[in-house]
Amino acid sequence: MATAGSIRELTEKIRHRAVELGFQKVGFADALYSQRDEARLLEWLALGYHATMGWMFNRKNERGDIKEYFPEARSVVAVGMNYFHGEASGEMKISNYAWGDDYHDVLKERLRELLNFVQEQSPGVRGLTSVDSSPVMEKSWAQRAGLGWIGKHTNLISRDFGSWLFLGELILDCELEFDAPFEEDLCGSCTACIDACPTGAIADEYLLDANRCISYLTIEHRGDLPFEFEDQLHGWIYGCDICQEVCPWNEKFAVTSKEEAFAPRKEIFERSGESWRYLSEDDYQKQFKGSAVKRTKYKGLRRNIAANL
């Protein structure tokens, strides 16, 4: 049976190794069910604010209770990696997070290394790695692990990096020493993100309607854009950073990422607005190889470009 001392030692070893692997934020949470978090998820789904993202509804039980996803879960290691490289500009804009390599690949590889490290330190431990494609409420777990708070735009905000963080989780079947959850709401009376959203996607404080979100429309939505949003992309052809760019915490605490994998690909920035009109499928495949932009597919990107012309 593990002692308090050995649990504390393993926890600190994991924290240290996570930082070595390039994670700027690391926290530990007890893998307990939260009725509040599940209720918030179910309310959001009942409102239809997940739009056509059926997988959010189909795996709601696992999202709402981590033990439905991994029954042996006892601890959640929540991590954050800074990706900020500046604000998008120009006639055709791509969200900051997609300027470099696909974050899913980068974070999953590092989390697998972290899991291997844990298993070297404590043979027999089992775990799962998660980066937002898994049915895990990553922002809730990050808040419960003390990384930051969920802002009015529904992104996680940290004191030291703002909201420019990729999140991931390592779910383990062993006990660790847990951090205190981040209980403060440091948004205060600020409504900058709500006021700045051009499509009214932030339906209420802490409540996002994906149906109206430029990021959803340019990435996850398939087929023609809804009529009312055909001319409402405001220059964005993949994702949208408006609600993050106006956040005072980002204006004050944004730090340029040192992660080379997220460095901007020059092909994106050297391409003029007019030349996007002539983007061929071959160009698309070459330019966005290993990029998150592949999520929208060539047809979707062409649709977004056309809507902005």
Which residues are the active-site residues? 132
Contact 209, 217 (CB under 8 A): no
Nearest residue to 39 (alpha-carbon basis) of 55, 59, 63:
63
Nearest residue to 234 (alpha-carbon basis) of 276, 279, 197, 195:
197
Interatomic CA distance for residues 28 and 73, integer angstroms: 13
The strand pair at 236-238 and 93-94 is best described as parallel
Residue 189: how many other CB atoms lie within 10 Å: 4
Number of alpha carbons in the 13 Å side-chain half-sphere of residue 249? 26
Q: How far is CA 78 from the centre of its chain?
A: 12
Nearest residue to 99 (alpha-carbon basis) of 291, 272, 301:
291
Q: With both helix axes pointing from N to C terminus, report the angle between 4-20 and 103-121 in degrees, rounded to the nearest 10.
A: 150
Helix (H, G, I), strand (E, B) or coil at 25: strand
Residue 167: how many other CB atoms lie within 10 Å: 24
Interatomic CA distance for residues 120 and 7, integer angstroms: 15
Q: Which long-range contacts (CB under 8 A, 24 or more apart) does 292-301 make?
A: 292/97, 292/98, 292/102, 292/103, 292/104, 293/94, 293/98, 293/238, 294/102, 295/219, 295/220, 296/218, 296/219, 296/238, 300/218, 300/219, 300/221, 300/222, 301/237, 301/238
